[in-house]
Chain A
């Protein structure tokens, strides 16, 4: 989990569906675990020593104290580390092949499936401008419209 010190360039990798810097991730996890656990354990100690509340309930309340610790850790990490994502509002930059692979599917399967869905689904996808997916419909098949591919291309061109 540690990065070699001689490597100045930040090392990025993908974890849990998004890009992260390995070193920053390690620090964030350590902070998250330490803060949450310390707060929880301290909270538990306090509530248990009060003696007036039932043991199970005391532990339950301690969870809230732990969540507070967790929240503090998240704020510190969020303030120290910037997001490694670019929010593109107008253009679809979604890498469809990658998303499909993540969902354990192939573009062919998706294209085939798209020919079989109802018009309500297609309409919804058009509204959301999910042209990257719609462009996978094989030519001439049910639900196929030539403009999908153009629109999908347009989305990625605008981006470049």
Chain B
């Protein structure tokens, strides 16, 4: 009986959050936490609530790829790292393939992430303190590797230092101005950087003449694959043998992390895989698949490991979107090992029942419709509105200023020197360690 109930709420939650996921820029905490809370208050059984939460998480992670792939507008904060590759995919005429790779990656991330996170919670949770201690150093090393792999090579590595100081400087100003450090505003700033730098160009007559276009862009959409697709296409089939290993491996690794932020893991593993793939098509499609797989698997890890091992909300996800599962009702006290497996998989399968086939099959049709009828001006206008609102939501007008400051500098680094936004996101995560370490080195030489 409980199983049937779990299936029903998973399907309903899957549909609701598929729609919420499509809306660009939706905040997970603001949507997942309150609706989950309502379910808890309505007195649903703990196992049913667990299935529900997994279902809405999975559904949202799939549909947030739709605006990201079609228009390079991030469907949620989690999709921000995927914007750059989606933009290249769009230029290559394969936005529908981007969407498919991300959805399939997302499925793989969930299917692999769930069992691994559950098992890992049992075995290695005590070690997490040590990993957390060194996270700054780990992010800095990864940032250097990713920077060196970019086109700017050693220049990008050197640029990490001034960029880290810029970010930490802004964080300090922010602490004075609004009493806290910022995340969304800086992230949004890096994301819109390339666009801000281009708009800045328009204001400079010489640059403006240089970038003038005489005629509309011609966009081509690659044909759909000829094979007939079943109702529920096998996600593993969307990746060739040279990339499936990366997608599966990164899912497994990221499901074991619960103290890093999901966005940080997505940036780090995505860029590491991207830097190993030299060919453009391969790089774009594999990286997108890996990124959505990682964001999903990390999310599951962040939910399950604290829940199973400690029953304490120790991760960003547990503190945010999943907080009702720790505070209003502590699922830790109610679920057995087999419950986690059974109801977790029910959540995954039935949660994506609506979103996954839809994203896979309608991808090309929707892309074409969008290209023909919605102007780019409207999309950019809406995106700028969203960015302003999210930055304002975090830190008022100061948040908007921060986003623009980061946007201008980050945009120059990207557009003029090829220090892409992935390097900049990593610089954000490494900035704390870089700056504190350099300050302590400076203190030695006074």
By a beta-carbon cutoff of 8 Å, the part of chain A in contact with chain B is: 1, 11-22, 24-25, 27-37, 40, 57, 59-64, 66-67, 69-71, 73-75, 77-78, 81-89, 91-94, 98-100, 102-105, 109-110, 112-114, 116-118, 120-121, 123-125, 127-130, 133, 159
Contacts and interface: CB of A to CB of B under 8 A. Distances in A.
A94 B87 contact: no
Contacts of B216: 12, 19, 83-86
B385 A84 contact: no
B29 interface: yes
Given A99-B91, A102-B88, A21 B223 contact: no
Interface stretch (B108-116, B198-206, B307-315, B346-354): B198-206
Nearest to A86: B218
A13 B213 contact: yes
Given A40-B389, A81-B378, A104-B150, 20 more contacts: A11-B212, A13-B208, A17-B90, A18-B217, A20-B380, A25-B199, A25-B381, A30-B381, A33-B384, A34-B385, A37-B389, A37-B392, A73-B381, A78-B375, A83-B374, A85-B218, A89-B220, A99-B88, A100-B280, A130-B94
A133 B281 contact: yes
B377 A120 contact: no
Interface string B252-283: 00000000000000000000000000111110
B328 interface: no
A18 B212 CA distance: 12
Contact of B217 (A32, A78, A86, A159): A86
A21 B26 CA distance: 28
Contacts of A13: 198, 201-202, 208, 211-213
A37 B91 contact: no
Interface in B351-391: 368, 371-386, 388-390
A84 B202 contact: no
Contacts of B27: 60, 63
B228 interface: no
B34 interface: yes
B371 A85 contact: yes
B320 to A, nearest CB: 11
Contacts of B150: 104
A139 B218 CA distance: 29
B91 A94 contact: yes
A99 B220 CA distance: 13
B373 A78 contact: yes
Interface string B172-204: 000000000000000000000011001101110
A5 B93 CA distance: 36
A70 B386 contact: yes
Contacts of B383: 32
B289 interface: no
B387 to A, nearest CB: 9
